[in-house]
Amino acid sequence: MTPASSAASKPRAGGEYRIGRYRVRARLGKGGMGVVYLGRDEALDRDVAIKTLRLEGSPDDESRGRFEIEAKAAARLQHPNIVTVFELSEDRGLPYIAMEFLGGEDLEHLLRSGEKLSTTERLDIVIQTLRGLDFAHNHRIVHRDIKPSNIRVLDDGGVKILDFGIAKVESTSVTRAGMMVGTPYYMSPEHIRGGVLDGRTDVFAVGVILHELFAGKRPFTADDPTRVLYRIVNEPHPRLPEGAAGPLTADVQRVIDKSLEKEADARYASAGQMADELTRLRDRYPTPELEPADLAALSQARRNLASQQPDPKLVETVEAIARAHPDATEAQRLRRLFKRKPSDPLAQAETAAFPELDATFGKSAGGEETVLGGRTISGSAETILQGGRAESAPPAPVGPSNAVMYGAVAALAAAASIAGLLYLNRGGGSGQPAKPTPTITEIFVPGTEATPEKRPATRPSGGGAIAPAPPTAAIPKMAMEIRSQPAGASVRIDRKLVGVTPLRAEVTSNAAHSVAFSLSGYQTREMLLELPLPPSIDATLSPEGPPATLVVESAYPLTVSVGGRVLASDKPGVTATLAAGAQEVLLEAPALFLKRRETVQLEAGGTTTLKAPLAGKIGVRATPDNCKIYLNGVFVDYPPILDRAIAAGTHVVTFEWPDGTKAEEKVQVQAGKPSYVMGRKP
């Protein structure tokens, strides 16, 4: 982290404060580890958000390391759905990040405010979030703290992912051993267990958000954090209310089910796969046919938004259209924007004082905290695990949001990155008080090793308090006889190994299950058991012939998946040994807008070569040019787009104007040659 050229955090003459080269104009938000300010970059004549670290106390190496990871991770990810970082620097020992200043409001506020979101808008928010995450995952960065407050919904419907403060970057580790960091409601089972994390842990979090968007509440809730974690690991998620997504409710539920699988291998192999599935659903959803007069009124209302005094007649018209057409996305969005009470962060900024900037090296008070759903739970891990209650702050009121809400979204590592920070530790000697800052060597989440009824309440080595598992409601179960021909096959129920055939297994009787059989020399067989469950199953396994070899050749890095299993990620090709027969191969290269599925017939003992398409270029223009450009459903930019690298083949270019009008063009891109597309508003 390099020091800023300007070393003046204290005010200049006339009461002006600066952080680095930026003039501080307003305080946007404040958290336990720092403050977010609205700053002015006078050299480039633009506003920026300045995120600082620990103004009250000396930042430790770990906090600095995580702070740097956030900036470097975000700076590597130049994508329309990820917040842009301009600078990571330090001023008088004060680390800070300068990033783009965003309007709009965070998804957390939208969910809690009761504002109406159309079905297509809800799907689009999730799709854009997944596109940003897929880009991050392809650059070997896992966010690990995806939640509504880290998703910014802009006024034009765009989405930005914020806060990579606890992101996992390849070959980087700054988390203390045994410390679990994240927000409990959105943690994946493997995150809770302390397992290896990859992009599928973010997919789980997005599945929670997708459920929350349509059900109006989170799928896993409880009065204390340990109970939340237990439910995520052990209990099935609830179903959506009937008709929650209109005619697509069953389809959306299927996507939620797959994204919330307990085992990562059973989820979508990538965020991009989940985004593709939801894109197909969004495009199928029936959108209302608005009258030309309504479309014209909405277009005029969009232009009128910038006015200090919106036209009351237009506001009334938008309100009427929104009431008449609940699934008219633009009408609902404009209605929301007109109802939002403007909040000017500069109202008192120019004369405001910032005393915390004068106390950069002051000693901060307070102990460890866990933030859960607006409540702050303080105390030792033993107290939390034993269900002890500490004084908790009341939920913060949800108020109107504009620029000020940006501070709440990006309110630093304490309020955003370390929301839900859980220190689950084993205490010191028996009867002795816990140490103020214990060394955490083990994370125990009740239910991960045995059910509460069967797990003995043992005391950890070295003494300390017993951490009993929380009580759980009885789950109906049944015994099932499982046999195979030939016998001796390993059996996995819902991806968990339960034994070898023949065997008798106990399963929950109120849910469907997958049962997989594997035996050396035989092809793996998987069966899906629907309700009502049979009392016994018999599986006949087919002999496995000699394996086949698949070779994928590519001139650029891509991700190769077969049957949902990733064989190579961001590599120029792969050679793999697979079972003979028909295999579905997925080739993905987001940077070149490549997502191609091909079914190849692999011959036993033979080698099959699959070549990825070469690259070409595409140029896109539009008239009028105030539209968004999508390539194969992925937002790219506003026109003109000049000589953008793209995989050869057929691509779909979509133009979307502010009034909701869309146009679509198909283009055949040839390898090594430029292709051009012109979009015209119908």
Active site positions, annotated = 145
Residue 41: enclosing H or E segment and its boundaries? strand 34-41
Whether 600 and 585 have beta carbons less than 8 Å apart is answered as yes
Strand partners, 644: 618
Structure tokens at 305: 């938004």
Displacement of CA 450 from its chain's centroid (Å): 30
CA distance 18 to 99: 16
Report the candidate in 83, 264, 226, 232 with the shortest Cα–Cα distance to residue 163.
Answer: 83
With CA atoms as reference, report the closest residue to 394 among 412, 407, 409, 377: 377
Whether the CB-CB separation of 19 and 90 falls below 8 Å is answered with no
Euclidean distance between CA atoms 671 and 414, whole angstroms:
49
- Alpha carbon distance 583, 579 (integer Å): 9
SS3 assignment, position 555: coil
CB 109 within 8 A of CB 398: yes
Identity of the residue numbered 554: S
Q: Is 308 helix (H, G, I), strand (E, B) or coil?
A: coil
C-beta atoms surrounding 80 within 10 Å: 17
For residue 134, count CB atoms less than 10 angstroms from its CB and return exposed for 0-12, middle for 13-18, buried for 19 or more. buried
The burial of 73, by beta-carbon neighbours within 10 Å (0-12 exposed, 13-18 middle, 19 or more buried), is given as: buried
Q: Enumerate long-range contacts of 60-68, CB under 8 Å, 24 or more apart.
A: 62/174, 62/175, 62/176, 63/33, 63/413, 64/1, 64/95, 65/174, 66/165, 66/166, 66/174, 66/175, 66/413, 66/417, 67/95, 67/97, 67/165, 67/413, 68/1, 68/95
CA-nearest of 414, 413, 410, 419 to 50 is 410
Contacts of 420 (CB under 8 A, 6+ apart): 182, 183, 184, 185, 187, 225, 370, 371, 372
* H or E stretch at 319: helix 312-324
- Among 33, 38, 58, smallest CA distance to 48 is for 38
Q: Which two tokens stand for residue 313?
A: 């007649």
Render the burial of 544-553: b for 16+ CB within 10 Å, e for the rest. Answer: beeebbbebe
Decide: 627 and 639 in contact? Cβ < 8 Å.
Answer: yes
The answer to whether 111 and 149 have CB atoms below 8 angstroms apart is no
